[in-house]
């Protein structure tokens, strides 16, 4: 027979363990929905040099950072440039299609903070998070060759775990989903805030699994007719980056794609393909 003290301890522990279990379940759910804004990658553009404290470049840079931060981030994409050499300053950002408005604002702030920390006083740098891409450069957008897709800074990421079952079928079906989303992203009826969305998401049953995916192009720097070409090119890299992987993506400065075996987008706009 338990003593009253022992019984009391057990009665206290049961609610505590239930609470812990509930918290762990909540944490797993938050993780599966990718509600965090994880840092992915960055590149300091060292060839553009550094700016000096108190310089005109720093003044313009800080002024533009504040100006963009005051925006509404509704479009999820923006660039701003002084266009004046030798103090040309350009800032641009592209948020993930499900992370506009306040989510985009917070990711932009994280990008600026991350570049200041990882590329201190560099005139140029780029950084990727789960929910956005941010770039600062001393090259004016006027001088960007927007008639050419930039593949130079593309990089792959993938889940180290492999899927079970028919790998070949999984690869083919996942690539087919990505290709269908690429077509949807470039559909003239796919509009957002008066501009072509150049973004699409969806899901597809592949055997016993469900694959969730998205594709996107940089709306302010990639012409709509070039988005399809960019997406087709990186989807062709799927066998090299993502063969049989439970999740993977290719990120770049012109376009990107991602797929997972769990729902990672914030909105419910994904359609079953």
Domain ranges of the chain: 39-137, 155-270
The answer to whether 92 and 140 are in contact (CB under 8 A) is: no
Q: Is the pLDDT of residue 83 over 80?
A: no
Strand ranges of the sheet holding 255-260, from the earlier edge strand across to the other edge: 155-158, 248-251, 255-260, 209-217, 199-206, 271-272
The residue-averaged pLDDT of 111-131 equals: 97
Q: What's the CATH architecture for 39-137?
A: 2-Layer Sandwich (3.30)
The answer to whether 234 and 255 are in contact (CB under 8 A) is yes
Beta strands at 209-217 and 195-196: parallel, antiparallel or unpaired: unpaired
Residue with more model confidence, 15 or 168: 168
Mean pLDDT of 176-198: 90
155-270 has which CATH code? 3.30.430.20
Query: What's the whole-number mean pLDDT along residues 176-194?
Result: 91
Contact 115, 166 (CB under 8 A): no
Contact 234, 227 (CB under 8 A): no
Band the pLDDT of 225: cuts 50, 70, 90. confident
pLDDT surpassing 80 at residue 6: no
What pLDDT sits at residue 143?
Answer: 61
pTM of the entire predicted model: 0.82
For residue 220, give the nearest of 200, 235, 198 by alpha carbon. 198
pLDDT reported for residue 5: 35
pLDDT above 80 (res 21): no
- When pLDDT is cut at 50, 70 and 90, the band that residue 34 belongs to is very low
At 224, which helix (H) or strand (E)?
Answer: helix 224-235
Q: What is the rounded distance in angstroms from the CA atom of residue 239 to the CA atom of residue 182?
A: 17
What does the pLDDT look like over 159-177, one tens digit per residue? 999 999 999 999 999 999 9
**Sign of the alpha-carbon dihedral angle for 95, 99, 105, 107:** negative
**Domains 39-137 and 155-270 alike in fold:** yes
Q: What is the mean pLDDT of the chain?
A: 83
Q: Give the closest residue to 213 by CA, choosing from 171, 167, 265, 161.
A: 265
pLDDT value at 40 more than 50: yes
pLDDT at 192: 83
* Backbone phi and psi for residue 179, each to the nearest 5 degrees, phi listed first: -65, -40
């Amino acid at each position: 027979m338990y003593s009253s003290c022992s019984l009391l301890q057990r009665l206290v522990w049961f609610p505590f363990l239930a609470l812990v279990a509930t918290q762990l379940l909540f944490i797993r759910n938050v993780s599966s929905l990718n509600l965090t804004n994880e840092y992915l990658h960055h590149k300091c553009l060292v060839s553009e040099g550094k700016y000096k404290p108190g310089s005109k470049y720093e003044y313009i840079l800080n002024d533009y950072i504040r100006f963009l931060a005051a925006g509404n981030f509704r479009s999820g994409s923006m660039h701003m440039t002084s266009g004046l050499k030798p103090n040309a300053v350009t800032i641009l950002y592209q948020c993930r299609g499900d992370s506009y408005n306040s989510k985009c604002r917070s990711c932009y702030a994280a990008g600026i903070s991350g570049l200041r920390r990882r590329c201190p006083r560099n005139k140029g740098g780029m950084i990727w998070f789960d929910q956005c891409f941010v770039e600062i450069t001393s090259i004016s957008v006027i001088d960007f060759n927007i008639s050419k897709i930039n593949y130079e800074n593309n990089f792959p990421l993938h889940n180290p775990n492999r899927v079970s079952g028919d790998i070949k079928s999984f690869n083919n079906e996942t690539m087919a989903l990505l290709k269908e989303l690429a077509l949807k992203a470039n559909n003239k009826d796919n509009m957002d805030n008066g501009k072509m969305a150049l973004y699409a998401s969806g899901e597809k049953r592949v055997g016993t699994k469900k694959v969730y995916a998205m594709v996107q192009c940089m709306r302010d720097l990639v012409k709509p007719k070039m988005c399809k070409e960019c997406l087709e090119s990186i989807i062709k890299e799927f066998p090299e980056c993502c063969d049989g992987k439970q999740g993977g993506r290719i990120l770049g400065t012109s376009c990107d794609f991602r797929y997972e075996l769990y729902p990672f987008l914030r909105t419910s706009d994904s359609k079953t393909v």
